[in-house]
Each structure stands twice: as C-alpha cells, then as structure tokens.
C-alpha cells in the first residue's frame, strides 16, 4: 500500500509534468471552489489533496523550484503539523518578513525576469485575478488560464461531486415566499438597468429558492447556479 508521503510526492511530480506541458512556471491551488466558498465539498478540496493541509482557508503555489503554502494566524500550528515542511515553505501571513501570495509572485518575477502563472479560472474571483495580475510587471509575465483543474488530473480516487437531495422550507420558516423574493430581486435589477442576473453564491441561491441541501458538511446548501430573467428563473443543479 502506498503511504501518504509517497502519494503526495507522486501527485506533486505528476502536477509538475502537467505544468511543463501547459508551459507555466507556477500553478495556483486555492482553497475556494467554483462558487468561491470557504467551506467546500470533498471533491473540491484540492489544496488539501496537494499539500496535506486541511484548514478551511489558505492558498498554495506549486513550483518545481519550491512549493509554498500561505496561511493566516488561525492555522500557523495546524499547517506545521499537517504539511511536509521538506516539500512546502509555510508563509505565516501577518508576521513580519512573511510574503503574501501576490508579493511572492512579484519576488519570483524579479528573480526570474518573467513568470507564467497557471490557474483554474473557475475558482479565481475577478478581484483576486486583478490582484495577482497587478503583481506582475515584466513584459513576459502573465496569468495563464488553464481549462480544467490540474490537481484533478493527479488526484487518485477523487470523490465524486455530490448530488444529494434538496428540501424546501415552508414560508413560515423563511418569512417570505419565492415569488415575493423574486419580485424583490427584479426590482433591484430594474434599478440597476439589468435584464438578467446570474447567481453563483450558494447561500444566495438557497435564499431565493427557499431550498436547502447538504452538499457541504455543516452548510445547508446545494451546489447550483441560477439565472433570473424578468419573466422566469432557472436553477441548474445536480441535486434532486
């Protein structure tokens, strides 16, 4: 049986190969998922799969020249206990002399002259992308979106996405019916001169629909996307 240390080494080596094929110098592995959740379903715990760190927050940079994990003060001790410090440099955010992820990108660029940063665009917010992009100044440096998450390609026995049951809450619990909520949302859309609203945040979708689920442990939500027009609202989900 392959032990965990050997498994992690195998995953990292396979990820380095995918990075070479994608022509990127470093690869971002963030803790968030496609809905930008802090707490994510098992199959989206990619940072934990590639670093061993199981905290709810913290991001990683993978590079053949050295791997880095960035955590805040809640996780200083946990990161030291869970991460192989021979494979990862742990950055304790908030302490003097420690670089943030974006600062590290700038430092790496200054050292190399230019840097290509690979990332999965489905898990990086526009705001985060702007911050990372602004860290790069050289002409040859760029953020490189890669279709599909590279960690998924090296994660053996990755759990399947959840498709758990959804249940409805009565209006006596929610305080407002779905029709009334949609009317309220559409009034805001009119004020914003918007014809269509796309929702990706799971708590927002749960609120509008008065539906709940258990796709994420200890979070009463279900994975979904939603589109609200002036005459209809459509929810897209694997759940039933």
pLDDT, tens digit (0-9, with 9 covering 90-100), for 158-207: 999 998 999 999 999 999 999 999 999 999 999 999 999 999 999 999 99
**What is the reported pLDDT for 119?**
98
Report the distance separating Cα 221 and Cα 112, nearest Å. 44
Report the distance separating Cα 210 and Cα 171, nearest Å. 8
Q: pLDDT per residue over 137-166, tens digit each?
A: 999 999 999 999 999 999 999 999 998 999
Following DSSP, what letter does each residue of 123-185 receive, concatenated? GS-HHHHHHHHHT--STT-EEEE-SS-HHHHH-TTPPPPP----EEPPHHHHSS-HHHHHHHH
**What is the reported pLDDT for 230?**
97
51 is a domain residue = yes
Report the distance separating Cα 185 and Cα 124, nearest Å. 26
Q: What is the dihedral of CA 84, 162, 156, 118, to 10 degrees?
A: -70
pLDDT band for position 92 (50/70/90)?
very high
108 and 13 in one domain? Answer: yes
- Of 209, 217, 214, 201, the closest CA to residue 164 belongs to 214
| CATH number of the structural domain spanning residue 201 | 3.40.350.10
161 is a domain residue = no
Burial group, residue 191, by CB count within 10 angstroms (0-12, 13-18, 19+) = exposed
> In the numeric block, which tokens belong to residue 123?
């898990």
Range of the domain at 230: 167-237
What mean pLDDT do residues 117-126 have? 97
137 and 20 in one domain? Answer: yes
Report the distance separating Cα 138 and Cα 108, nearest Å. 11
**pLDDT, the chain, mean:** 95
Domain end call among 154, 175, 203:
154
pLDDT band for position 27 (50/70/90)?
very high
Report the distance separating Cα 158 and Cα 129, nearest Å. 27
**What is the reported pLDDT for 1?**
43
Is pTM beyond 0.85? Reply is: yes
Q: What is the dihedral of CA 84, 89, 92, 93, to 10 degrees?
A: -130
What mean pLDDT do residues 5-22 have? 95
9 and 68 in one domain? Answer: yes
- What is the count of structural domains for the chain? 2
171 and 138 in one domain? Answer: no
**What is the reported pLDDT for 2?**
56
Domain end call among 126, 154, 182:
154
Is 3 or 226 the better-scoring residue by pLDDT?
Answer: 226
What mean pLDDT do residues 219-230 have? 97
Give the number of other Cβ atoms within 10 Å of residue 17's Cβ.
14
105 is a domain residue = yes
176 and 115 in one domain? Answer: no
């Amino acid at each position: 049986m392959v032990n965990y240390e050997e498994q992690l080494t195998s995953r990292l080596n396979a990820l380095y190969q995918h990075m070479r094929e994608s022509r990127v110098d470093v690869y971002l592995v963030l803790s968030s998922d496609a809905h930008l959740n802090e707490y994510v379903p098992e199959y989206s715990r990619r940072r934990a799969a590639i670093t061993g760190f199981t905290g709810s927050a913290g991001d990683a940079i993978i590079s053949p020249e050295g791997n880095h994990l960035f955590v805040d003060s809640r996780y200083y001790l946990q990161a030291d206990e869970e991460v192989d410090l021979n494979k990862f440099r742990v950055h304790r955010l908030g302490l003097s002399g420690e670089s943030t992820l974006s600062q590290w990108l700038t430092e790496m660029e200054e050292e190399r002259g230019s840097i290509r940063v690979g990332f999965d665009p489905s898990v990086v917010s526009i705001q985060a992308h702007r911050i990372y992009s602004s860290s790069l100044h050289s002409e040859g440096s760029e953020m490189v979106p890669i279709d599909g998450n590279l960690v998924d390609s090296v994660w053996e026995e990755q759990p399947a996405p959840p498709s758990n049951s959804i249940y409805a809450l009565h209006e006596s619990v929610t305080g407002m019916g779905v029709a009334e909520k949609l009317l309220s949302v559409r009034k805001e859309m009119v004020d914003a001169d918007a014809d269509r609203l796309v929702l990706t945040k799971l708590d927002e979708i749960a609120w509008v629909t008065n539906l709940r689920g258990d796709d994420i442990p200890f979070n009463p939500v279900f994975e979904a996307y939603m589109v609200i027009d002036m005459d209809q609202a459509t929810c897209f989900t694997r759940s039933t």
